[in-house]
Structure 1
Amino acid sequence: MKKILYLLPLLLLFSCKEDFLDRGSLTQLAEGNFWQNEKDAQLGINGIYDVLQSRVLYSGNLNGSAGIPQHDSFADNTFNNYKFEGPGNFVEARVDPSTSFFNEFWTANYRGIARANNAITNIERIPKEAISADVKAQLLGQARFLRALFYMNLAVHFEEVPLILQVQSLQEAYVPKNTNKEVSDQIIADLKFAGESLPTTYPAAQYGYATKGAALSLLARFQLYLKNYQEVVALTSQVLTLGYSLNSSYEQLFTEAGEKSKEVVFAVRFLQDQSDNGETFSATFTGIPKVNVQPLRNLVNDYYATDGLPITRSPLYKAATPKLNRDPRLAASVYFKDDIFLTDLNRPFTGNTATTFGLKKYIRNSPSTSGVGVGSPGGQDFYVIRYADVLLMRAEALIETNQLPDVYSLVNQVRARVKMPKVEDVEGSGLSQAALRDIVRHERRVELAFEGLRFFDVKRWGEVEAAYKRATDDRVAAYRPVYRGRMSEVFPIPQSEIDANKSLAQHPDWK
């Protein structure tokens, strides 16, 4: 019950959805009798957060379009066994602009943008006697933070998309796409506004809303994508002063018990049976852990031994006992054959996946009450940004600006949590820029695996082709990655959008 109280402000809108939220477009929302006061404004903001729980965004899916928690399958971390969900077919080059995944991902993000635009327009109009200036600024900051998050999803995956910043009538909806720079500039502007408007913390009853730290951290992530490294250094300097810290247990962090950790900078909140998301991304199946997201061997092999050396060089590694003497993040993230994955049933994982490994990180370790493995409990939150990511973003930016001395302490903080050796004790001190770059890229992979960031990383590093080769070399049965140049690095504009809007032009790499 305590958790319900924490989430109640965020979930108020879910029970009201049938009354007004999903009655057609939010842009046509009862303009004459809504948006009159602070309460209305808060409900409107909650409606934007609701979109984050869409299956194709942060809820994840089974037997439908994949969500962001499954996006590691667009690269070399996981195999999407249910290929029709999106990532598997994309990597195997069996998609075209009419593939439903692209349309659903596009539509969900624009649904969030429409709700944000409506909130921004109408909150601005609420008279000052009905809402304080501070509350108005805070709510506008949340709306612009969320709009930036939706546009960031579009900018990274589709690159050039229509930039819509106002409530549109049907007659105004047929717009051309904007350049990636124009979209990027707006994302930066929205996040700067949010960073100046949002509080550092909220009262406990407002658990789940975007903060100043969330805005600064998301802006740092986007600036990293744009390779504006000095901006990343400046932004993360501010985040480091806001009271975040690493959770003491890496494994516990990715359970419901870890949701209130000071490591969580921004999360999409879930509470089973309080919304219509159905299966949440953390579902466990009774016969196999998360059947449609299977860790790939090349990732498993990338976790070092406990002496800090790769398994190809460490005397501690034995092929007969591959999970022993390994970086503890491996055992916290991946099931090996014979690991118990349903403790209530004492059920061992039989290795019955195509990759022989099972997903453990984030996944519930209890059976379903529905008898099919996908039911309650399912209240695990999904972390969009956490403090370890901020530390590693800062380390990467320092490397790329050739400010090398401070990189060691940042990586060492992340390693210390799982008792892995310091950089200086294994790789040495006085390392070159290239050597430190490899260290941080490795650290990002093993620290952030299965958090939906791998495609984001390899794309900005120019390593998508290399990622496809690693996935291919794993020789997973019936999985044949096909690298097609830019077509493997950018999504096409959905064909349904091209057909409906004659002002839209397809991405040149997909024509």
Structure 2
Amino acid sequence: MKKYITLILLGTMLSSCSEFLNLQPEYQINEVSFYKSAKDFETALVGNYAGLQVLYNTALVDIGDLTTDNAEIKWTSPTVSETELDEVNPTASNDFLNTVWSGSFATIARSNNILSRLDDVNLTEAQKNQFKGESLFLRAFSYFNLVRLFGNVPIVDVAFRSPDAIMDFDMTRRPVSEVYALITKDLTDAASLLNGITLPSKSQASTGAAKTLLGKVYLTTKQYDLAKNVLKEIIDQKTYSLNPDYKKLFTNGNSELQETIFEIKYLSGNVGEGNSFSSIFTPARFDMAIFPGNMQGSGRVLPTKQMANVYEPGDLRRKASIGDSVRLNTGKYEKETYGLKFVDFTTGIVGDGGINFTALRYADVLLMYAEALNETNGTPEAHTYLNMVRQRAGLAPLSGLSKAEFTLALEKERRVEFLLEGHRWFDLVRTGRAQEVLNKYFQDNGLSFTVAPHELIMPIPLREIDINPNLGQNPGY
């Protein structure tokens, strides 16, 4: 019974791929008929990438913003799980946490399955490198989300061929240091394996994506010199650049932009392949006329008043990120504060948004590099990279800041640059500022919520502990 979680993941590895691509019946997809050609591995990888659609629609975005001073719920009947995030009072039954846990381990299991079969098939060296590099990236990507949210987690780096193999595997939670060691190795190997390979889409892993995520890993683990080195490599390669039009990053047609490093594809018109941002980021009003058919928003994740006021005068990102009024079906306009990013105003169906979600982009590289410089006595130089992002936003450059002043300026810059992109919670936890910033926000707004020390790590989902009691629970839950 204690191994049941892995058995479930093993069973979902190919079934989800089948569902996403409408392949042959699931009972026919087995070791006899599958993983026999390069096309089979490409198909399996497409199915694995598809799993990320669920994670970002909308669990990771909700966790990243709704838990913070960036966003709040503004509708009358929020779910228990949404309320828990908004009040930073997570429980082990939270649906969003369950989604991240199960979805991430499903991606890990699929990645392991692909990796375990590469040597059994006649592939070119370039094909093996590509498939291995992409799978290692996806495994590392999943583990990075898991370790940041839950701390110690099981490390599963093999594929299982029998129930006995599952039962014999050590499924206990491993220390954070071991998880990060696996992530670092996977990303380093992925960057090397994918080097020189040109892939057709930025929804696939690349050397740039692996190095960008590795830089974020090094920042999170406070290895600033290593972060500085790998992020500088990306900058020096000149593969990416800031998109001149910030708004274009979040509107229809945002696929394959010059700033994009890794994106999650969504498609309108195909059931199950659209996103829900058009609903969750817009007001819960039945009298709006901003979507075809007057589709109603849900008000689940709306910018706070403080967030709307934090932008500097003249910041071009404000108008591209936050709406201040909505058109009603009477033709009049009424004041409402709501999110604009990733909102597909061409769809009138909930969950049918066709705008891609950008998980990694070049502005993040520049701001992370500035952070690494500032943490390694390079504050004067760090201004250059912070100001590159500010210049795109139409703002004057900053100069002469001390290390401490620069840290706060960078925190604010990341907040306005990445609103509703799921960064804020992880940024505040990484820099050790979550309790101070969020508790002050709650106090200033007359709210009784607080972020306790143990709440910086989320609870292990209860259903997983019920299946495998040996997982244990994080302290305080």
TM-score (norm 1): 0.80
Q: Once the two structures are superposed, what CA deviation does each residue of 1:335-389 show, in whole Å capped at 9, x if it has no partner?
A: 11x355x9xx7966634xxxx5211122123451x4xxx264x211101110001
- Matched pairs, number: 442
CA distance in 1, matches of 2:120, 2:108: 19
CA distance in 1, matches of 2:116, 2:63: 34
Instruction: Choose the corresponding residue for 1:329, options 317, 338, 353.
Output: 317
Q: Residue type matched to 1:335 in 2? A: G
5 Å-filtered alignment, 1:385-424, equals 385-424=360-399
SS in 2 for 1:383: strand
CA distance in 1, matches of 2:250, 2:330: 21
Contact residue 44 and residue 114 of structure 2 kept, 8 A: yes
Query: Identity over aligned residues, as a percent?
Result: 30
Q: Residue type matched to 2:334 in 1? A: T
Please name the residue that 1:295 is paired with. 303
SS in 2 for 1:299: helix
Please name the residue that 1:100 is paired with. 95
Q: Residue type matched to 1:380 in 2? A: I
CA distance in 2, matches of 1:404, 1:490: 30
Contact residue 275 and residue 355 of structure 2 kept, 8 A: no
Please name the residue that 1:506 is paired with. 473
Contact residue 392 and residue 440 of structure 1 kept, 8 A: yes
Asked if 1:217 is matched to 2:235, the reply is no
Please name the residue that 2:71 is paired with. 78
Q: Once the two structures are superposed, what CA deviation does each residue of 1:258-315 show, in whole Å capped at 9, x if it has no partner?
A: 3221100101111123462455334467636551111012222221123xxxxxxxxx
SS in 2 for 1:335: strand
CA distance in 1, matches of 2:354, 2:274: 11
- Tell me: CA distance 1:93–1:246, structure 2 relative to 1, closer, same or farther (3 Å): closer
CA apart distance, 1:470: 4.3
- Tell me: CA distance 1:186–1:259, structure 2 relative to 1, closer, same or farther (3 Å): same
CA apart distance, 1:199: 4.2
Q: Once the two structures are superposed, what CA deviation does each residue of 1:124-172 show, in whole Å capped at 9, x if it has no partner?
A: 322xxx3101111111000000010111110000011000011134442
Instruction: Choose the corresponding residue for 1:363, options 343, 353, 357.
Output: 343
5 Å-filtered alignment, 1:19-58, equals 19-20=25-26, 30-54=30-54, 57-58=55-56
Contact residue 58 and residue 281 of structure 1 kept, 8 A: no
- Tell me: CA distance 1:399–1:255, structure 2 relative to 1, closer, same or farther (3 Å): same
CA distance in 2, matches of 1:328, 1:474: 27
CA apart distance, 1:79: 0.7
CA apart distance, 1:105: 2.0
CA distance in 2, matches of 1:70, 1:506: 19
CA apart distance, 1:122: 1.0
CA apart distance, 1:38: 0.8
Contact residue 250 and residue 332 of structure 1 kept, 8 A: yes
- Larger helix proportion of the pair: 2
Q: Residue type matched to 1:234 in 2? A: N
Please name the residue that 2:334 is paired with. 350
- Tell me: CA distance 1:247–1:95, structure 2 relative to 1, closer, same or farther (3 Å): closer
Unaligned runs of 5+ in 2: 1-16, 289-295
Please name the residue that 2:243 is paired with. 247
CA apart distance, 1:193: 0.7
SS in 2 for 1:271: coil
CA distance in 2, matches of 1:483, 1:207: 37
Please name the residue that 1:138 is paired with. 130
Asked if 1:257 is matched to 2:253, the reply is yes
Please name the residue that 2:6 is paired with. none
SS in 2 for 1:265: strand
- Tell me: CA distance 1:213–1:251, structure 2 relative to 1, closer, same or farther (3 Å): same
Please name the residue that 2:404 is paired with. 434
Please name the residue that 1:315 is paired with. none
CA distance in 1, matches of 2:73, 2:214: 30
Please name the residue that 1:161 is paired with. 153
5 Å-filtered alignment, 1:462-481, equals 462-473=432-443, 475=445, 480-481=448-449
CA distance in 2, matches of 1:480, 1:347: 39
Which one is further off, 101-110 or 437-446? 101-110
Contact residue 194 and residue 206 of structure 2 kept, 8 A: yes
- Tell me: CA distance 1:229–1:67, structure 2 relative to 1, closer, same or farther (3 Å): closer
CA distance in 2, matches of 1:360, 1:468: 24
CA apart distance, 1:70: 5.5
Please name the residue that 2:183 is paired with. 187
- Tell me: CA distance 1:141–1:203, structure 2 relative to 1, closer, same or farther (3 Å): closer
CA distance in 2, matches of 1:375, 1:13: 18
Please name the residue that 2:57 is paired with. 59
- Tell me: CA distance 1:151–1:85, structure 2 relative to 1, closer, same or farther (3 Å): farther
